[in-house]
Amino acid sequence: MAVLRTKMGSLELENPIIISSGHLTRTGEDIKRCDKYGGGAVIIKTGFLEKEYEKVVKPYAPGLFPDARAQFYSTGDGYVGICGLSPEPVEIWAKWFKDNIKEIKTTVIASLMAISVEGYINGAKMFQEAGAEALEICLGCPLPYLLPHPYAGGAGFNAAIVEEVCTEVRKAVDIPLGAKLTFNPLDASPLKIPQKVGLDFMTVAMVFPAAPGVKLDEIEPELSSSVMLTGSKAAKYANFVALLHLQDQYKDIHISSTGGTHGWKDIVEYIMYGASSVQVQTLFLQKGMGLIEELKRGISNYMDSKGFDSIEDMKGVILPKLLTYDDVLATYGETKGKIVVSADKEKCNGCGVCEEVCNWGAIKVIDDTVEIVKEKCEGCGLCVCSCPQEALWLEHTELIRKLKRG
Ligand SMILES: Cc1cc2nc3c(=O)[nH]c(=O)nc-3n(C[C@H](O)[C@H](O)[C@H](O)COP(=O)(O)O)c2cc1C
């Protein structure tokens, strides 16, 4: 049976499913609850040192810092939501680690944000001393009240700040250390820093800034305010692009990816793109952490069916198979007229959607059944995606890859 063990630096995880930093991990009590579900690790909700926290948000009683106004609006596959940071500053978390960490079976990773390099260094030392098994520095959070602070929130979009913070924290602590960065498609250079400065892992995240929709009957917003969209399937595809940028690094640094996981297949896909572990939040908010067992079973059964013995075996396998867009264009002449649509006329109900969506005039519905003009078909697959009867498919789609790889 496939072994699900994986690594984050020198840290050994039982499996690659991590309960990410977020609403499920706001306090020590939450971590105790997470511990019941068999995740590979759990990451505490991000907080600041108390002194720095006060400069960003106002403390109030009875919790020290506000997260009580968290609100969620379902988009179907995710949430548009508002949230704060951990209601507890690093000092309280450090005490919690000291008092509780020995009783927790799951690997617990600390998470830290700061508005200065000193804040990152001091917070990291505090967590190490308190017994945190690893630390993730959070450099990619779009909360609006963080953005005026160049070392917090959007710091991950600035390669120089990422390098400064990661270098200094690396010098200060020797527990496994990672940085969480939100991918910016216009500038992937920050993603290169964690490995360059000797971090043990990096977390590739995609959290979209978002504003709420409108309740059309009442002409009111769906949510009183906004911050971010999480859980969206689009996040997974954007993260795949980030992982492509990291394809020369995934053997040298452990990558954790986070965004848009809805089932075991998404986790397997992330691993095939080079991730060693996958962090999940929205799915567990939607369906509960009891799902972790099902995810583990799904991954394990799939690996057995395909002959992958370990996560390491499966890691990155898709990367050599991907072509550039230029490669695809270069094969146009040889594939024209060969990658074409075919139809199961028995299944076709003559609805005509395929004819409507075809830009090339390659598909017609005559007497309630589909007719294909193969010479005109460009093999784009739009008709296949649109057919409500699943009566269409593309032939020879593997040809482009075969031609390019020789
Ligand atoms: C309500 C909420 C709070 C979050 N808080 C944090 C946080 O404090 N620190 C952090 O690094 N990420 C935070 N995240 C981001 C998640 O850890 C995760 O990376 C992101 O939501 C993408 O994963 P998902 O699509 O599975 O939700 C939060 C996400 C949500 C939904």
Between 48 and 67, name the one with better pLDDT: 48
DSSP labels for 40-71?
SEEEPPPB--HHHHHHHS---SSSSS--TT-E
Radius of gyration of the chain (CA): 24
Determine which residue's CA is closest to atom 12 belonging to ligand 1.
Answer: 21
* Assigned token pair, 119: 């804040």
pLDDT tens track for 72-106: 999 999 999 988 889 999 999 999 999 999 999 99
- Residue 259 CA to ligand 1 center (angstroms) comes to 8
Q: Does 18 contact ligand 1 (Cβ within 6 A)?
A: no
Residue 108 has pLDDT above 80, yes or no: yes
How much is the average pLDDT of 290-309? Answer: 98
Determine which residue's CA is closest to atom 6 belonging to ligand 1.
Answer: 22
Q: Does 260 contact ligand 1 (Cβ within 6 A)?
A: yes
* Assigned token pair, 254: 């452990």
Q: Does 282 contact ligand 1 (Cβ within 6 A)?
A: yes
Ligand 1 pocket, mutate which of 18, 207, 277 (most atoms under 8 A from CB)? 207
Give the pLDDT band of residue 42 (cuts 50, 70, 90). very high
pLDDT for the residue numbered 227: 83
Residue 399, φ and ψ in degrees, nearest 5? -60, -40
Question: What are the residue ranges of CATH 3.20.20.70 in the chain?
Answer: 6-321
- Residue 26 CA to ligand 1 center (angstroms) comes to 11
H helix count then E strand count, the chain: 16, 20
Give the pLDDT band of residue 381 (cuts 50, 70, 90). very high
Question: What are the residue ranges of CATH 3.30.70.20 in the chain?
Answer: 327-405
Q: Where are the alpha helices (DSSP H) in 246-331?
A: 264-272, 282-287, 291-306, 311-314, 325-330
- Residue 260 CA to ligand 1 center (angstroms) comes to 11
| Domain boundaries 6-321, CATH class | alpha beta
Residue 378 has pLDDT above 70, yes or no: yes
Residue 382 has pLDDT above 70, yes or no: yes
Is there a contact between 345 and 365 (Cβ–Cβ < 8 Å)? no
Mean pLDDT for all residues in the chain = 94
Question: Is CATH 3.90.1200.10 the classification given to domain 327-405?
Answer: no
Measured CA to CA, the distance from residue 19 to residue 115 in angstroms comes to: 25
pLDDT tens track for 187-219: 999 999 999 999 999 999 998 989 999 999 999
Give the pLDDT band of residue 406 (cuts 50, 70, 90). low
Please state the pTM of the whole predicted model.
0.95
How much is the average pLDDT of 290-305? Answer: 98
* Assigned token pair, 185: 């498609």
- Beta-carbon contacts of residue 358 (< 8 Å; ≥ 6 apart): 382, 383
pLDDT tens track for 354-367: 999 999 999 999 98
DSSP labels for 69-104?
T-EEEE-SSSEEEE--S-SS-HHHHHHHHHHHGGG-
pLDDT tens track for 307-341: 999 999 999 999 999 998 999 999 999 999 999 99
How much is the average pLDDT of 285-308? Answer: 98
pLDDT for the residue numbered 350: 94
pLDDT tens track for 137-186: 999 887 888 889 999 988 999 999 999 999 999 999 999 999 999 999 89
Closest CA to 223 of 364, 374, 41, 82: 82
* Assigned token pair, 279: 């962090």
